[in-house]
Amino acid sequence: MRGCTRFSWTYSLTGLALLLIVCATTSAQNAAPHAASKAASTPAPKRDLSGVWQLQGDGSQQPIAPDADMPPMTPWAKAKFDAEKPGYGARGAAGGNDPILQCDPIGFPRIMMMPTPLEFLQVSGRVLQFWEREHEWRPIWVDGRSLPEDLDPAWYGYAVGHWEGDYTLVVESTGFRESTWLGPTGYPHSENMHITERYNRVDHDTIIYDLTISDPKAYAKTIVTPHRTLKLKPTGEIAEYPCVWTEENSFTKRIREPATPKNNQ
């Protein structure tokens, strides 16, 4: 019987090893050609996230969380969710009504789920984030102020941050327009959405990025997103990537609409 046990484990472990190789190869595709950065063992600078970073993944924009991890929606949110026609995910179909197809601003936090790089800059009292996607930015105020009351809704909200120790920037934000989706698979939010982010620089080249979303008007519980990894790109540069309406409109006429069944246009 012991021989059979070994046989079983041999097969299982061989299968595991092969699968890990496949997984590692595919997940490395997005990152491989970048210049090698400093060894991860190089000490990270304290209270400093400056540099160009990139979300790790398969190269696609990512949903805010897997469908199975999304908390139950309130009737208010469910009605909005049912009206969404995303191009990605389980409900994905050609065409649809994703607001970014009209060049509406992607908004926060969806912009963080894009595979293109972002850059952090630190100036007095603020950490600035610049995203290649949309060529957009937001300030994170780290001068000790609190979130203001009665904010006017904004595409990228209003953010304040503080350091926990020397390597974790915690960011609180609110004041969001409710017309944006949380991700490419849809999911609505309200103007009352409150986001907490943690940028934990675990080594010189790596930030573990966690985000929770509290929005009682829309969800029965806090949304807890999966751990994400941002990698430093020492030679990275932020390119222009605006949604140019005239060019997007031409693209829609020449490619998007011909590829969409008539009943979905």
Partner 1 sequence: MKFKPARSFLFIAGLLLICAPLRAHHGNSAYDEEHWITISGTVTEFVWANPHCQIFLDVKDDKGALVNWAIESQSPGILRRNNWTRTSVKTGDQISITLAPAKNGAPVGFSGNQSGKIVFADGHILKIDIR
Q: Is 1 in the site for partner 1 (CB under 8 A)?
A: yes
Three-class SS string for 8-44?
Answer: HHHHHHHHHHHHHHHHHHHHHCCCCCCCCCCCCCCCC
- 97 counts as binding partner 1 under rule CB under 8 A: no
Q: Report d(CA 223, CA 103) in Å as an integer.
A: 26
- Return the number of the residue (15 or 125) whose C-beta is nearest partner 1: 15
Q: Which of 190, 196, 200, 260 binds partner 1 (CB under 8 A)?
A: 260
Asked if 104 is part of the footprint of partner 1 (rule: CB under 8 A), the reply reads no
Q: How far is the CB of 98 from partner 1 (least distance, A)?
A: 10
Q: For residues 34 and 162, which CB has a smaller minimum distance to partner 1 in the complex? A: 34
Check: CB of residue 57 under 8 Å from CB of residue 86.
no
Instruction: Write each residue from 43 to 82 as x if it is in contact with partner 1 (CB under 8 A), else as -, in one continuous string.
Output: -----------x---xxxx---------------------
Task: Decide whether 27 or 192 has the Cβ nearer to partner 1.
Answer: 27
Among 114, 97, 108, 135, smallest CA distance to 58 is for 114
Q: How far is the CB of 52 from partner 1 (least distance, A)?
A: 11
Return the residue of 31, 147, 151, 208 that touches partner 1, per CB under 8 A.
Answer: 31
**What's the min distance (Å) between Cβ of 139 and partner 1?**
23
Q: Is 180 in the site for partner 1 (CB under 8 A)?
A: no
Dihedral sign, Cα of residue 228, residue 25, residue 134, residue 185: negative
Binding mask 130-159 for partner 1 (x = CB under 8 A): --x---------------------------
Q: What is the three-state SS of 164-223? A: ECCCEEEEEEECECCCCCCECCECCCCCCCEEEEEEEEEECCEEEEEEEEECCCCECCCE
How far is the C-alpha of 111 from the C-alpha of 136, rounded, in Å? 9
153 contact partners, CB below 8 Å, separation of at least 6:
175, 176, 177, 178, 191
Supply 83's token pair.
């009206």
**What is the contact surface with partner 1 in residues (CB under 8 A)?**
1, 4-5, 7-8, 11-12, 15-16, 19, 22-23, 26-27, 29-34, 54, 58-61, 87-89, 92-96, 115-117, 132, 184, 239-244, 247-248, 250-251, 254-256, 258-261
